[in-house]
Amino acid sequence: MSRRRRCQFISPGSIAGVLLALLAACGGRAPRPVESSAQKGRIIAITDSTIRHGGTDTVRFGHLGSGEIAVQRIWIENKTQKPVVILSVQRSCGCTSLDVDKQPLAPGESRKMEIAFDSRGQYGWQLKNLDLILAGAPKPLRLLIEADVD
Q: Are 142 and 55 in contact (CB under 8 A)?
A: yes
Phi-psi region of 140 (alpha: psi -120 to 50; beta: other; left: phi over 0): beta
| Local confidence pLDDT in tens for the 150 residues of the chain | 555 545 444 455 555 555 445 444 444 444 333 333 456 778 999 999 999 999 999 999 999 999 999 999 999 999 999 999 999 999 999 999 998 988 999 999 999 999 999 999 999 999 999 999 999 999 999 999 999 999
Q: Please give the CATH architecture assigned to the domain spanning 42-149.
A: Sandwich (2.60)
CA dihedral in degrees (76, 119, 70, 146; nearest 10)? Answer: -40
Instruction: Break the chain into its structural domains and give their ranges.
Output: 42-149
Answer yes or no: pTM beyond 0.85.
no
